[in-house]
Chains A and B, each alone.
Chain A
């Protein structure tokens, strides 16, 4: 009975996801696409910060690297938007492992600090004239959105570029969420959590601390890199100034809002960082960040578990 009802819920959810873009205007679809992209990035950061307990204020850097890898490959090497994703993932995995090595020695504040330096330095590096030929310098790179490969109409509404990209981002995000949720439940996930809670005990029980930590860092960076590449495709534009160090901070905001150490919390976090600034923007240009900051601090005081923590409290029977 339980099995059937779960299946039914999944079917309804999938059907809802399928028809959603045809009920929204094009611009809203674009926003939803970005939300899905942020959800992947937030999930990546949550694996590192929520599960492994390593604080990163520099994931905006991996997001930027992913975006630039995608943009440069499409612009200069003739890659299609879809084939850039695995490349971005591999490059960011490598960058993450590189950053993961110094991270082995650093804990808590030091790691946050070192990664924050990364977040501040990357926009500058992207502007540098030595690589300006590939990165487009300060102007960045303008891309074109991939078109839907086939004609399709639903309820009389055509499958526009943004609607097609909605299905693309969804098709990328779903397996990534599925993989992450299986990862944290499995052997690797238990090792990651053990290192967060009791590093010394975990080491004594045979968990290879440096290996697991570095791998987690790489994996987390790869998730964020894929998100960056997808983000570049969705927005069809990359420029150094769109990867301001505040990108890293909003990803962290997303993690905290969604709930540290949760998988599906990333959706709530992403919705928050995508839609709340738009609302706050109407008050003042500077207001979104003040609102971010206030909510961030308020959440730590009243609901350290974020949205998922609050949901769990409301529904304690649901062991998830």
Chain B
């Protein structure tokens, strides 16, 4: 029983990171109806920036917030430079640009920071304050950080004028621009935010899986699975989906199939969700007009 609870708690801790990545994906999807394949690679790159800052003696939390800032500006710039020209192009062109970004970021991580696996320290104490037998300090800490991020994102969208403008731009771009909302800049802002959330997820994940250029490959897949399971147009769905995927992954890995097939679990989840209930658990049904 104890080991079962242990699996559940560490599943929840990992799940919070999947939830954050899933949320980032949902945000880009909501505003643009695109899925950003480069999300994981961008997060890895941001994590490398944080690692470099820490290596140069910058205090952990200062480098954390600096990285978050850099990720925000970076995401914004990427949207302006790379995505804007293909905003109205066919889906295939978009996917190819995303794949191009994925490859570039992956290569740049390896090129600039090296291919060797790096240890990334956790800012949290090793022993947890509550339930120390079930959950480690880092797991509790990263759970807290990601939940905090989710709360901030929620408050931002619900109560700030910019959040309202972003929602309007996503839901009805034409009407939004008629009332004076700069729709294209709202999309850029969405990219910036998503990139920020990705960076947080990367920094929280790095102490668990170690830092190397391919760190986020599998994790991104779980983020996708989380977003799809919850319904790709529902931010809360992505969060719940993330926790479900995290727990499922750990329990299946520990008791049913072993750790070698973890990625296949994600594959089955993605294909299964898309085939059996394409709208996910909490998504709206999409009706297309002929």
- Point out residues on A near B: beta carbons under 8 Å: 49, 53, 55, 57, 101-102, 105-110, 112-114, 116-118, 120-121, 124-125, 127-129, 200, 245-246, 249, 252, 256, 260, 284-290, 292-294, 296-297, 300-301, 304
Contacts and interface: CB of A to CB of B under 8 A. Distances in A.
Q: Is the interface of A mostly helix, strand, loop or mixed?
A: helix
B91 A55 contact: yes
Interface in B244-290: 260-264, 266-267, 270-271, 274-275, 278, 290
A155 to B, nearest CB: 42
A61 to B, nearest CB: 10
Given A55-B92, A105-B274, A113-B224, A293 B263 contact: no
Question: Top 8 closest A-B pairs, CB basis?
Answer: A293-B104, A293-B103, A289-B107, A108-B91, A286-B111, A290-B107, A296-B100, A297-B100
B266 A108 contact: no
B99 A249 contact: yes
Contacts of B99: 57, 249, 252, 293, 296
Contacts of B208: none
Interface residues of B, number: 45
A50 to B, nearest CB: 9
A256 B96 contact: yes
Contact of A55 (B86, B95, B264, B274): B95
24 contacts: A101-B275, A102-B271, A108-B91, A108-B95, A110-B35, A110-B274, A113-B270, A114-B271, A117-B221, A117-B266, A117-B270, A120-B218, A120-B267, A121-B267, A124-B260, A245-B217, A284-B111, A286-B111, A290-B111, A292-B107, A293-B100, A294-B104, A297-B101, A301-B85
B86 A286 contact: no
Contacts of B111: 284, 286-287, 290
A114 B270 CA distance: 6
B274 A285 contact: no
A73 to B, nearest CB: 24
Q: Is the interface of B mostly helix, strand, loop or mixed?
A: helix
B92 A49 contact: yes
A239 B143 CA distance: 38
B118 interface: no
B30 interface: no
Given A108-B95, A124-B261, A113 B35 contact: yes
Nearest to A53: B92
Given A297-B97, A300-B96, A109 B34 contact: yes
Contacts of A109: 33-35, 91, 94-95
B110 interface: yes
B108 interface: yes
B110 A285 contact: yes
Given A109-B95, A114-B270, 12 more contacts: A57-B99, A108-B92, A108-B95, A109-B94, A117-B221, A117-B267, A124-B260, A124-B264, A260-B92, A285-B110, A290-B111, A292-B103
